[in-house]
Amino acid sequence: MARHGAVKSSGGVQKAASVAQRLREFNRMLVFVMVYLSFCAFNFGYDVGTFGGVQAMRSFAEEFGEYDEEKKMYALPGWLSSVMTATPFLGKAVGCAVSGWMAEKWGRRRAILLMCTLSFVGAVLQTSAKTAAQFTVGRVLIFAMTGFVIVVLPLFQAEVSPKAIRGMFGSMLQLMIVLGQVTATLVSYGTHDLPDSRAWKIPVGLQLVLPFVTVLLLPLLPESPRWLLSQGRAEDAAGSLARLRPRASAEDIQVEIKAILHAHADQAKGTWAEVFDRKNRIRTGVAVLAMFGQQITGQTFPSQYGVIFYQTQGFASRAFLFNVAASIVSLGAVIMTWLYVDEVGRRPVLLTGGLCMGLSLFMLGGVASASQEQLDRGLRHLIVASILLFCFFFNLSWAPISYIVVSETAALRVKEKTNLLACVVSVLTAFATSFSTPYLINPHYANLGGKVGYIFGSFNLVMVVATFFCIPELKGRTLEEVDQLFESGVPLRRFGSVRTKTAQEMYDEDFGHDTR
């Protein structure tokens, strides 16, 4: 038990391994697993990034929209844009709810197989669509796939990766989602001037590629040792773990198998009632707040309606280029967070990012409130600048860190159920904001245009206050230390300054100082 002495006392933080030390933990199978799972997350981001540009294309509007006599052009009516953008989030909610159950009952690999099947069928329906209804059904199926991604992939990543590189595995999810968005915007930018349906069918049709590749490579993917043990298949679990840890001895494999058995036995006791009981309700609230904040802050406005909005503001020729710029800025922000979040912490990034997001949106609202004469003198370009700033700070803070907060906050016994609840709340919030945004910005309805920045900017400032009081700092804490913090009764905002007992100290208290 003396090995626990490596954990430093308090704040109870263990010195982080260097990048070089973490990279040495990788082997060929772990690299394959990380890249394979990244492909799945990439497809999620690609789909999200595709429709924002596709719905602004002339050929897409001619296929599914209505002729606007006033503007002498085809366009998607506000209600149809709302339905096509928001309805798929209901499919995502169903995907979240079903995927956890299926991953537990049938295994992680079969859940991934269904995820790829949904993606493939959805892409076929969209590419061959002749009606808006068929295209929307295809999007619902694609979004059901994204529900599988945010539930199954983090679960699988945590179960197959060694402890030393678990953070690198987990952070790849948001990084690949954003990289998928960047790729989608580049493809849409390259095809949007094509005169026929190829303009939107090419970017949509490319979604057929990755599901096909991932299904072909699926037989090479080891099943989760934790799931195999839950099915009583200890020998298969040891074989799977040996593939994942080829440099480990047989004794090391058995030690890890015993650790998994212990953790699984504890986790299996959790029920839905425990998610909301006196011991866990605060932890559940923190997880839900983090995922709610990720969506209520208004990210659907630039990600789903950015191109259309740029076009309405007089940037028709550069709308797709600005969309590409926003996705590249977002990718750079995620990479920065990936590198520094373990050093800086969660709360400072969320507080700073949320404040800057709110100020960016208020700037957008202020510019949109200016007179036409002021806009014509060049003030209009601040609209683009404010949206780019929002995208940067969102992907620096709420986009990646909300997932980290959920994974750190949930109690082990009810971790899967807490994560599922938080993800469903996130999806339903995204549905609400996606459905309402066209009605807020469309000239035929509320006609707020850029003034919608006042609404979402206010939400951002509210979330900054909520973060200050309700989101704890758990940087560098072990699972045992997190349990101590939530049981201590200390206000959430002060968790970062509380000294916790290390695993070694708790062991010495229970069994004395003799560790022989």
Model pLDDT, residue 24: 73
Phi and psi at 258, nearest 5°, equal -65, -40
Q: 407, 479 in Cβ contact below 8 A?
A: no
For residue 266, give both structure tokens.
């504890």
Model pLDDT, residue 329: 92
Q: What is the pLDDT of residues 107-123, one digit of tens each?
A: 889 999 999 999 999 99
Q: What is the mean pLDDT of the chain?
A: 82
pLDDT score recorded for residue 478: 63
Question: What's the rounded Cα separation, in Å, for the pair 185 and 327?
Answer: 7
468 or 159, higher pLDDT: 468
Q: Which amino acid type is present at position 100?
A: G
For residue 503, pLDDT over 50 is answered with no
Q: Is the pLDDT of residue 6 over 50?
A: no
Mean pLDDT computed over 187-211: 90
Among residues 468, 402, 351, 490, the alpha carbon closest in space to that of 11 is found at 490
Decide which of 194 and 153 is more confident.
194
Q: Check residue 75 and report its DSSP letter.
A: E
CA–CA gap between residue 75 and residue 419 (Å, rounded): 39
Q: Which residues does residue 74 pair with via DSSP β-bridges, in sequence order?
A: 67
pLDDT tens track for 127-152: 999 999 999 999 999 989 988 888 78
Please tell me the predicted confidence (pLDDT) of residue 217: 92
Instruction: Please give the structure tokens belonging to residue 428.
Output: 């339903």
The reported pLDDT for the residue numbered 5 is 34
pLDDT for 10 equals 42
Residue that is written with structure tokens 């799945």 in the block: 40
CB 184 within 8 A of CB 53: yes
Residue 3, pLDDT above cutoff 50:
no
Classify strands 73-75 and 66-68 as parallel, antiparallel or unpaired: antiparallel
Helix intervals (H) in 281-397: 281-296, 300-312, 319-344, 347-368, 372-374, 381-396
Look at 23 and 174; give whichever has higher pLDDT: 174
The three-state secondary structure class of 341 is helix
What pLDDT was estimated at residue 124? 95
| pLDDT tens-place string over residues 313-351 | 888 888 888 988 998 999 899 888 877 777 788 899 999
Q: In the chain, what is the greatest distance between 2 CA atoms, to the nearest angstrom?
A: 86
Residues 6 or more apart whose Cβ sits within 8 Å of residue 28 = 246
- The pTM of this model reads 0.78
What's the confidence (pLDDT) of residue 264? 58
Query: How crowded is the C-beta side of 159, counted as CA atoms within 13 Å?
Result: 30
pLDDT (0 to 100) of residue 22: 62
Contact 363, 453 (CB under 8 A): yes
Q: For residue 406, what are the contacts with CB-CB under 8 A and spacing of at least 6? A: 287, 290, 291, 418, 419, 422
Query: Of 127, 141, 309, 115, nearest to 203 (Cα)?
Result: 127
* Secondary structure (DSSP) of 251-309: HHHHHHHHHHHHHHHHHTT--HHHHTSTTTHHHHHHHHHHHHHHHHT-THHHHHHHHHH
- Residue 515 binned pLDDT confidence (cut-offs 50, 70, 90): very low
For residues 281 and 417, give the distance between their C-alpha atoms in angstroms, rounded to a whole number. Answer: 13
Amino acid identity of 457?
G
pLDDT at 509: 54
- pLDDT attached to residue 507: 43
Per residue in 431-486, pLDDT (tens digit) is 899 888 888 888 778 888 889 999 999 999 999 999 999 999 887 676 567 777 88
| Amino acid at position 259, single letter | A
| 56 closest CA partner among 324, 294, 299 | 324
Q: Percent of the chain having pLDDT more than 70?
A: 86
pLDDT at 386 over 90: yes
pLDDT greater than 90 at residue 244: no
Task: Give the model's pLDDT for residue 33.
Answer: 86
Could you say which DSSP state residue 339 is in?
H
- How far is residue 303's CA from residue 326's CA, in Å, rounded to a whole number? 9
- CB contact at 8 A, 260 and 245: no
